[in-house]
Amino acid sequence: SKSSELELSQSELIQVRESIEAAKSGESALVLAKKNEFNEITKALAEAREQVLENGKQLLTWKEKNDLNKAELEKLRAENTSLATTLASNNSKLELSQCELTQVLEDIETIEVAKQQAKVAEISKTLTETGKSNDATCTTIPETSMRQKLEIFNELEASLRKENKLLSEKIVEVTDELKKTKETTRDSEIVAFENQIKFLNSIIAQKQEKENHLMQELQRKEKISYRKESQICKAETRPRMYCDICEEFDKHETEDCPTQLMEESDIAEHSHYSSSSTKVKPPPREYCDNCEEFGHDTSACEKAKSRKDYTF
């Protein structure tokens, strides 16, 4: 019985050993699994730490970029404010320039009209004095009067050229101002400046046209005045022939009368006067060169005194 118990104890011991070995082997597998799991967790934790560090770096980079963007934004805002102020200032300058340009144009127009009126009045006065001088002298057109006309024409032309030059300089000035403000002004204001420039160009064209028209008109009036004066002088220097002895027109003058070469008896027969020996040659009859009539002398002609001046 003891041997059987001993065998049983040995067999149980073997079973216990086997169970212990089995337990050890199972525990080793569990420990290995736990170790593997621990290693994986450690690895994941290391990766997570690296990711956290990377995220921290990215966060710092983003913060720096954000600060830089904020600085740039503030700079852009400041520039925008400065540009808005500059735009407002340019708009004010543009409005002021437009007002000044309008005033300059009005002043130019007023001065131009006044100068032209003064020149026309001066020319009319000169031509009036020329007409009076021609009526009094009954000769060809005086050289001094023609010089005065030419001087007046030259002065008028020089004045108009000077004014055209001033307008051209004003156009250049406005054009330069337009170029400076073209980038910061509205399209409508640019169009307004261009319209002002076109208006100035049209004024220059009108002034030049007026100048040409005035010169043509003055030349035409001068030719008319010259023809009238030539006709007057021609009429005044060529009176009708008249013989006081024969009392007849358009045949011969008194000094050329053929009766002066005749005998006294022949004169009595030829003349309409009496043949009395006491009859003397009558004095010359008064003749007016203006009226081309007998009865009064040219110096006492009322028509010449009341003659209208040649003005236009």
Domain boundaries, the chain: 90-237, 242-288
What are the residues whose beta carbons fall under 8 Å from the beta carbon of 228, sequence distance 6 or more?
A: 310
DSSP tag of 256: G
- Which of 113-122, 216-225, 239-248 has the least mean pLDDT? 113-122
Does the pLDDT of residue 2 top 70, yes or no?
no
Q: Are strands 293-294 and 242-243 parallel, antiparallel or unpaired?
A: unpaired
Q: How many CB atoms lie within 10 A of CB 259?
A: 16
What are 211-237's pLDDT values in tens digits?
Answer: 777 778 777 777 776 665 555 555 555
Task: Check residue 17 and give its pLDDT.
Answer: 73
Task: Check residue 181 and give its pLDDT.
Answer: 65
Give the tokens for residue 104. 């300059």
Report the pLDDT averaged over residues 142-152.
62
Give the tokens for residue 175. 């054009």
Phi and psi for 309 in degrees, rounded to 5? -75, 150
The reply to whether the predicted model has a pTM over 0.95 is no
Residue 24 or residue 250, greater confidence = 250
Residue 20 or residue 144, greater confidence = 20
| Rounded Cα gap, residues 287 and 295, in angstroms | 6
**Mean of pLDDT over the chain:** 70
Task: Check residue 264 and give its pLDDT.
Answer: 47
Report the pLDDT averaged over residues 66-85.
78
Report the pLDDT averaged over residues 79-85.
75
| Rounded Cα gap, residues 177 and 161, in angstroms | 24
